[in-house]
Structure 1
């Protein structure tokens, strides 16, 4: 608390320096004001931006004479001489399509004009932030070409480019002020839960496709760069407040609000500081998909129902097997067993909406201290701390409620004209987060054990059948009897059981997720352009340490084995050279990365950019690069019980770190293991198991023809997970024609050793074999494994492995934009994507392309439709596509979404009032299976500028 009070005091204290003040206005050629124009002192970082009426005031410690540089996107730059204090200036900027001259940094780790970028780059500017019709700038990124957004929660959205989308997108990297803000434990980006405030965004750049040559292993499918404003350039106090309503059939109409404040102060040329605070609260999109996860068309009336957003009904067992157990205990006559059907019955589950408070919250706090020892931007020292707190829903193999989740980052950075050195730590705390599936399972077990419930069900079914009931009637009666005493959501008894389950991390009785993991990261870069003149040469490198600590709840970091720590490091170099009167630009780079448990990887990239035309405004580019992705912490060290399977990573030491003692019920099995239990470990999963598909085929035939059924069994044949690689080819064109800005790109990717999931079934005894013969007798290892399968003495695993089949993907995109008369701007883009994978060669492997083949986006806007009024309308469409994941598989429907906003500038208050609405058509839609349907959102916001 003391450090925060200290920071606040810096903004409250009044410190006076000798300063020059310049005021003025910025207008276009039609004498209309230009809001958001950049005004800076030439050769210095000192600057400001114009308000909604085009006016500005700038203070600097520099004494006249000096020069102001005034610029804005879509206009030319003008220089104005300042010769006296308190001078008033008027700048008139000429219309100019300057998108090709915009400066980007991400593609080559050095400032370069967009026209010279060797690969596709998409930008989201401060002007885009102001005009977006989305509730936040991060939501507005969905309208960028190449971006595919996947919504798991109102506050948790995952960005993806170029296919293979997931919620936990470990193939995509996101950097905020140079810091990777992915989860230390699970390695994927948590949207903007810890990111940048709308009023602190300086720039956003998107680099779709493989970027491993400069950014390492996780920049496999793309990378997003978000940069916040510097207090040296943008100072003052700004704030925003949004209030509105979300509307969804399942949840009804609910309030939504979001507010934030930014305070920044440049005390002199040597020291500046800033602080941000934002808070958002709303009602979650209710997840109410009650279709069966495994059998299309099945509903709650079925005795073995397993609902998509229902939890606890995963507890399922063969009811005739229950009868056999009861008969063996003398509780029912043996003759009654055959009255029970030879099929599974599931327990009655609880709806997801009854297992969460359905409230989404997110608070972000950050502050930074900036020192320039020499009074200029050639050397700057930055300390930055960021904190994110909140509630959200994350979806992996199950649905998880992140309740009181906390993540923080602390960075020390030294940056200068040609270099940077930074080090930061990211840590997270799971708070009171919990797994919804185990919450449902264990609340059920809290009021009645599974053995008692299924026993009562079997007894009631027999009685109903003897009374003349049909099978359907008998199932209904049996469920009513077994459900006697069921805890009802909303009652004190239910709440008590819920609190006990969600506060216990033991999956036998609880569902709490425990996490206190960290990432330690450092990287550095130096550009030799001032020392070496024949070409621009850079060198750099990075080092990262993972420190995983889930206390054995998610990973195999139990007290018995201790925490999990492992390292990654990489080094790279890049050479750029221009030829042919600077029309041809060559870029070549290579990076070497090494991680514990894996061999090192080289990632080269070469590209050529040619600027044709008299004005060099027709730019052609081509590149080839290889990318790679190291297996994540999950791929290597997870040991997570998700109910129907164990998620098991394949790091060599993880196979023995995971072990489990399970009951053996078969007489043969008990004789073989020498008791009623046996202990297995990860070696059973990877080296002594059957593919799930063959076990399912076996089960369907086993009762009628066990020999033929056994012939269908196939032993799992997988290797331990290793890095996946991609060869990426890209061609593109940027240019201007008849006033249109055109950007066309095409890519072709070849993936090898693609990482995915494979579900297997391991027998608790015996040896897994292809087509084992059950007639060889109890001494045969293959026949023993068949007995284990037939008697249910098995454990299912979901493994992380690579496919030997080569996967290919290709796509192209076209983007058009044009500035029309009377300040109108229009833009449109189209993306095509497809992939090629021969499923028949590896039927058990799930690639999960999860991307629409066709996507179209368009917008029309006018920042100054008439005095102080502006508007923006954006639309996007995508066709249907197949979604595959460890949670559920199914089709995502075609969707059209239209968002709109109108804004009004209030010059006297330096404010902008905005009224916006999303999904104006009102048709609720989804972007993946599992989360709630996305409804409508209406909001009004007021932003106050410095």
Structure 2
């Protein structure tokens, strides 16, 4: 039936005789304007110019008719076409400013940026062409309000207004209306399943709470990436980029990026589009060797050394008369091949059944890649795949879409567990520590070695079964150890052990994680502008279902996939008063998740346009945002060794089960040889980590504090914002904003310690409480990381200033500054980890000219941020201040319909950090050739 319908549409379409209008669009200096829109007045037909300003418009309309030609930053012009032989060459006059750009995302209806009720950033065709980054997505970092968190050369998350992480579940990212975050792991994989550089039409970004229109998770902001239509952008486009990355640890390595786009409007009713891109590079290698346990770097002077980017040395134990000792670890670059790969493709059919603006879109997207993700551990995502399929119907006043997201973790694995279990493949933990203890104690007794010398001898024996001559004849060493010597990185033994570990999903022996989760989502929206006249009214809603399937390797889905649902509905009214100078926008949304109470999210805003030409625009808004706990917050059940992650959905507490061995001392106190623990131990029978540490140091049970952990629930933010936008002195653009956010039930993680036996409490006379004290003293205890909400009062505030001006002819200078801070009283919640992870001060500047001379343009971006604290479950530390310079020059070759670009990011070449635990970001020098029809 579907094939028949498409065939009929094609047949019907070709019966219309099509003719072509050709021409070009330039500015007053005769320089081409790419991305200009050409529309036939009164119809839905249209086209857009390519990089050299040329266009072809296919139409069945008969002359005479009128063309409307428009481009961002230029005045709109109309041209009468009287014959198809007429060539249409249009010169557009500059109309400064970017504040006149049309955006949709702020109110779900077209409006100028200057009239937007909230802060909004936009990247259009011209900005994409001029970006100094290697891709348009990386170029987003140079937008005002945007700060990146870089976990990998291909895995970057957008941070706006603080409280961000690598996963950044407080920020939503949509591609052609589809949420492209991972259904199970909850992170957006950069642009893995996003848009190709030659297919992106524009990007709109709203920093700040946006839940009133977009629901859960649009908490700190939302970004929309929109692709080009095959009806208006036809032809075959190709690009190729070659570059080299340079980093102190990784050295100099090749960077390759290739893409092709094909689009064809066969008739005015039917068009097809396809994209394919392929990128390879070498990772920014993470090699931070700071000690996470304090003390010196390296085992030479610190027998309990745990390096940040060394794995395996987290396995530690206390040895009487020796002290705390950790196993020898492996570097991150030993555990992964450090290769980055991204392959993505998308295909879509676009059908316009009637003469109006109604369009049916059938779209399929797939992304396959290898990169590194940082959460509680560092994960090598190998052949990670995500697919999306969408059916959408949209018209002048409505849209309805349904899409699915399907992911597969492929050959991905946890690098920390990989190192642990490669170590254990050579020698068990028990045997290794026994070897260490024996050699340590005898080296001191027989050889008179000091502590550091004994530690070195003990590690050599435990790792390689090698002893000094003075100890070789001792009877304690006459029986050869059963374990093998440590596997050296790169050796056949190491490679074989690592290969086996990466294929085994049992984390006691392997490191592989399985994820075949899915997401089902639908949206509808209707605008009553043609029915209701007194104001613009629109309504809409959404529905979503999560289907989590990790086979028990991430979630507690041991007995089958876990599913839950969310839905929401909203309404919005926009009304202008006072001769259209005052615009009021009111929105209200209700959302309900299956596991939580419903949330109501209102938004109220006023925009006043002052001045004779209404160019001074003041705005004031209040809105709320909320975030539902993620799939991991609710259903994770993951043993990470030193601690376990426990989601706090009520049913999850019983789903998580594990068995632990009790010490001989505990058994002597009457405890059983083994105990069964569940997730309830973490939430209902635990002490705070800080109090257990104090008790361990003092031995005073009065130091112990019972952890009072509640089950996680949605968090809310009340956001207040004021702003001003204007253009003064003809070409000076001003954009000011300030915000103040108040957070309630802010979600965070806490670490707690649960005794294997006994009851956590403060009544020292209770025998059950006494047993819990004994369990802590004997080391019979379990560390959990749990998901909960803090009762602390948290607020954040910030402001931004953006200025742009043409300083000489077409040289445009831009500068912006952002300030951000948060406040809370640590005494209200001593265990709360804020994770603001945002610089207090950021400055960005740009200087560019799209046409310095004919067809030659350039752009330079510089950004600076102050030092700031990074906090995460993987590691904490200070991110130093840094200054980064990016630059590019581009040259257009109209006869070849080509643009050649040469650029560099981090041109100074000094490696810098954005995430503690991730690789330092080096320099990328690249050259690209783009051919657009």
Into which bin does the TM-score normalised by the smaller protein fall?
A: over 0.9
Alignment correspondent of 1:640: 638
Please list the CA deviations of residues 445-500 of structure 1 after superposition, one character each: whole Å capped at 9, or x if unmatched. 01100011000000000111112000010001100000011101111111110011
In the superposition, relative to structure 1, how do residues 768 and 666 fare at CA in structure 2: closer, same or farther (>3 Å)? Answer: farther
Structure 1 position 729 matched with structure 2 position 720: yes
Alignment correspondent of 1:912: 899
Alignment correspondent of 1:765: 757
Q: Secondary structure at the residue paired with 1:199? A: coil
Match for residue 655 of structure 1 among 653, 656, 669: 653
In the superposition, relative to structure 1, how do residues 52 and 627 fare at CA in structure 2: closer, same or farther (>3 Å)? Answer: closer
Alignment correspondent of 1:711: 702
Deviation of 1:28 (Å): 2.0
* Cα distance in 2, alignment partners of residues 433 and 34 from structure 1: 45
Match for residue 354 of structure 1 among 297, 317, 334: 334
Match for residue 458 of structure 1 among 429, 432, 437: 437
TM-score by length of 2: 0.95
Checking the alignment, whether the CA contact within 8 Å between 2:910 and 2:922 is kept in structure 1 is yes
Alignment correspondent of 1:115: 114
Please list the CA deviations of residues 541-578 of structure 1 after superposition, one character each: whole Å capped at 9, or x if unmatched. 1110100011111110012xx22100101011111110
* Cα distance in 2, alignment partners of residues 283 and 479 from structure 1: 33
Alignment of 1:401-412 (within 5 A): 401-412=380-391
Structure 1 position 928 matched with structure 2 position 918: no
Structure 1 position 264 matched with structure 2 position 263: yes
Alignment correspondent of 1:486: 486
Alignment correspondent of 1:790: 777
The two structures, once aligned, show a CA RMSD in angstroms of 1.7
Deviation of 1:80 (Å): 1.0
* Cα distance in 1, alignment partners of residues 32 and 650 from structure 2: 65
Structure 1 position 139 matched with structure 2 position 138: yes
Alignment correspondent of 1:421: 400
Deviation of 1:806 (Å): 1.1
Alignment correspondent of 1:316: 316
Q: Secondary structure at the residue paired with 2:87? A: strand
Checking the alignment, whether the CA contact within 8 Å between 1:213 and 1:603 is kept in structure 2 is yes
Alignment correspondent of 1:386: 365
Match for residue 847 of structure 1 among 822, 834, 837: 834
Deviation of 1:56 (Å): 3.0
Please list the CA deviations of residues 816-855 of structure 1 after superposition, one character each: whole Å capped at 9, or x if unmatched. 1123443211211110000001112211110111100000
Checking the alignment, whether the CA contact within 8 Å between 2:21 and 2:57 is kept in structure 1 is yes
Match for residue 597 of structure 1 among 595, 598, 611: 595
Q: Secondary structure at the residue paired with 1:308? A: coil
Deviation of 1:666 (Å): 3.7
Structure 1 position 943 matched with structure 2 position 930: yes
Alignment correspondent of 2:103: 104
Please list the CA deviations of residues 263-287 of structure 1 after superposition, one character each: whole Å capped at 9, or x if unmatched. 0010111111100000000000011
Deviation of 1:89 (Å): 2.1
Match for residue 679 of structure 1 among 670, 676, 681: 676
* Cα distance in 2, alignment partners of residues 167 and 463 from structure 1: 47
Alignment correspondent of 2:522: 522
Structure 1 position 200 matched with structure 2 position 179: no
Checking the alignment, whether the CA contact within 8 Å between 1:21 and 1:87 is kept in structure 2 is no
Deviation of 1:638 (Å): 0.6
Structure 1 position 891 matched with structure 2 position 878: yes
Checking the alignment, whether the CA contact within 8 Å between 2:14 and 2:267 is kept in structure 1 is no
* Cα distance in 2, alignment partners of residues 185 and 45 from structure 1: 40
* Cα distance in 2, alignment partners of residues 122 and 686 from structure 1: 42
* Cα distance in 1, alignment partners of residues 295 and 795 from structure 2: 30
* Cα distance in 2, alignment partners of residues 266 and 431 from structure 1: 36
Q: Secondary structure at the residue paired with 2:198? A: helix
Alignment correspondent of 2:168: 169
* Cα distance in 2, alignment partners of residues 480 and 129 from structure 1: 56
Higher alpha-carbon deviation: 236-245 or 184-193: 184-193
Checking the alignment, whether the CA contact within 8 Å between 2:435 and 2:462 is kept in structure 1 is yes
Alignment correspondent of 1:376: 356
Please list the CA deviations of residues 359-414 of structure 1 after superposition, one character each: whole Å capped at 9, or x if unmatched. 0000011011111110332x111111100001010000000010010000000011
Q: Secondary structure at the residue paired with 1:781? A: helix
Checking the alignment, whether the CA contact within 8 Å between 2:296 and 2:305 is kept in structure 1 is no
Match for residue 887 of structure 2 among 894, 900, 916: 900
Deviation of 1:296 (Å): 6.2
In the superposition, relative to structure 1, how do residues 296 and 910 fare at CA in structure 2: closer, same or farther (>3 Å)? Answer: farther
Alignment of 1:435-834 (within 5 A): 435-466=414-445, 467-484=447-464, 485-559=485-559, 562-669=560-667, 672-673=670-671, 675-701=672-698, 706=699, 708=700, 710-738=701-729, 739-770=731-762, 773=764, 780-834=767-821
* Cα distance in 2, alignment partners of residues 550 and 480 from structure 1: 40
* Cα distance in 1, alignment partners of residues 14 and 589 from structure 2: 48
Please list the CA deviations of residues 72-93 of structure 1 after superposition, one character each: whole Å capped at 9, or x if unmatched. 2222111111110121122111
* Cα distance in 2, alignment partners of residues 700 and 391 from structure 1: 45
* Cα distance in 1, alignment partners of residues 298 and 164 from structure 2: 29
Q: Secondary structure at the residue paired with 1:736? A: strand
* Cα distance in 2, alignment partners of residues 26 and 195 from structure 1: 30
Alignment correspondent of 1:74: 73
Deviation of 1:744 (Å): 0.5
* Cα distance in 2, alignment partners of residues 914 and 758 from structure 1: 48
Deviation of 1:15 (Å): 7.0
Alignment correspondent of 1:862: 849
Checking the alignment, whether the CA contact within 8 Å between 2:405 and 2:519 is kept in structure 1 is yes
Match for residue 411 of structure 2 among 432, 445, 454: 432
Alignment correspondent of 1:326: none
* Cα distance in 1, alignment partners of residues 598 and 57 from structure 2: 52
Checking the alignment, whether the CA contact within 8 Å between 2:289 and 2:309 is kept in structure 1 is yes
Q: Secondary structure at the residue paired with 1:100? A: helix
Checking the alignment, whether the CA contact within 8 Å between 1:27 and 1:34 is kept in structure 2 is yes
* Cα distance in 2, alignment partners of residues 821 and 87 from structure 1: 36
Checking the alignment, whether the CA contact within 8 Å between 1:61 and 1:268 is kept in structure 2 is no
* Cα distance in 2, alignment partners of residues 300 and 366 from structure 1: 50
Alignment correspondent of 2:470: none
Aligned residues: 904
Checking the alignment, whether the CA contact within 8 Å between 1:45 and 1:233 is kept in structure 2 is no
Unmatched tracts of structure 2, length 5 or more:
465-484
Checking the alignment, whether the CA contact within 8 Å between 1:52 and 1:906 is kept in structure 2 is no
Alignment correspondent of 1:332: none
* Cα distance in 1, alignment partners of residues 798 and 315 from structure 2: 43
Q: Secondary structure at the residue paired with 1:460? A: helix
* Cα distance in 1, alignment partners of residues 703 and 52 from structure 2: 75
* Cα distance in 2, alignment partners of residues 278 and 156 from structure 1: 16
Checking the alignment, whether the CA contact within 8 Å between 1:119 and 1:621 is kept in structure 2 is yes
Checking the alignment, whether the CA contact within 8 Å between 1:257 and 1:280 is kept in structure 2 is yes
Deviation of 1:71 (Å): 2.1
* Cα distance in 2, alignment partners of residues 161 and 420 from structure 1: 28
In the superposition, relative to structure 1, how do residues 382 and 33 fare at CA in structure 2: closer, same or farther (>3 Å)? Answer: closer
In the superposition, relative to structure 1, how do residues 296 and 140 fare at CA in structure 2: closer, same or farther (>3 Å)? Answer: farther
